[in-house]
Amino acid sequence: MPFYDRICTKCEAKMIDCWEAITPPSPVPCNVCGEPTERAWFQLGHTANVIGDDIPGGIEIRHGLCDEVTGEPRRYYSKSEIAREAARRGLVQRVEHTTAPGTDKNKHTTKWY
């Protein structure tokens, strides 16, 4: 069962994180005055876990997206800036996990316990 926030229709008391079924069986009474409550959404100072686009301090890229003229490393300060430059150059991000020579095992794809 999920958690819901509720607000009283009469006294406007807030009930935070009420554990109840998706479809409650009957009107949920206010824990202050006993009147029916309605579902509401209160964040109460919490923000969603949004992953930002910026890269604080930047990231220095030495291969692929380096300076085209001098070949020197180039610093990027956002993920979208990297994506735009890669698209402009016709590059695609790719990660390849290969096996150790003479075996079919890979340290990235074996059990960790």
Name the band, by pLDDT with cuts 50, 70 and 90, for residue 110: low
Residue with tokens 């997206």: 65
Residue 43 has pLDDT above 80, yes or no: no
C-beta separation of 31 from 21 below 8 A: no
Question: What mean pLDDT is predicted for residues 33-61?
Answer: 83
C-beta separation of 17 from 3 below 8 A: yes
pLDDT of residue 100: 73
pLDDT of residue 48: 62
Residue 113 has pLDDT above 60, yes or no: no
C-beta separation of 50 from 69 below 8 A: no
Residue with tokens 């059990």: 111
Backbone angles phi, psi at 87, to 5 degrees: -65, -40
Summarised one tens digit per residue, pLDDT across range 54-108 is 999 999 999 889 998 999 999 999 999 999 999 999 998 877 767 777 777 776 6
What contacts 91, CB < 8 A, 6 or more positions away? 64, 65
pLDDT of residue 108: 65
Summarised one tens digit per residue, pLDDT across range 11-25 is 999 988 888 888 876
What contacts 9, CB < 8 A, 6 or more positions away? 35, 36, 37, 38
